[in-house]
Amino acid sequence: MQSGLIQKLSPGLKGAQRRYLRGLAHALKPIVQVGQQGVTDMVIAQLNTALFDHELVKVKVNNTFDGAIEDVAIGLTEGTQSACVQQIGHILLFYKANPDEPVIDLKHFKEA
C-alpha cells in the first residue's frame, strides 16, 4: 500500500503521531481478522468494539481473501470512522480515540 493512501486514510494524524502509534503497536497481536468474504458488517462491528476497548488495533487479512488489501483498509476506515495508521503485508493498524476516556494521548505533538 502506498504511503499516500495511508495519509489519505488518516487525514487527522500528523506524521509524528503516526510514528508514535506505530511504536505503540509494535508488540500488539492482531485481534480482528478479515476472511475470504472481506469487509462484512460483522468485521466492522468487531473492529468498532476493539477500537472502543483498545483505541489501537491490528487487523489481519487472511490469505484466503482474494481482493486488494487497499480495499479492506478503505472499507474498515469508512465503516468504523477510524484512521488506518499502517499496512505491512497482511496486517493493518487502526486508531480511534475512545470518546469517553481516551487512553492514548496525541495532544503533546506540536503542529508541523
Q: How far is CA 44 from CA 3, 18, 32, 40, 72, in A?
A: 23, 22, 9, 6, 11
- pLDDT recorded at residue 112: 47
| Per-residue confidence in pLDDT tens, the chain, 112 aa | 666 888 899 998 999 999 999 999 999 999 999 999 999 999 999 999 999 999 999 999 999 999 999 999 999 999 999 999 999 999 999 999 999 999 999 888 765 4
How is the chain split into domains, by residue range? 3-95
Instruction: Tell which CATH architecture fits domain 3-95.
Output: 2-Layer Sandwich (3.30)
Cβ(112)–Cβ(16) below 8 Å: yes
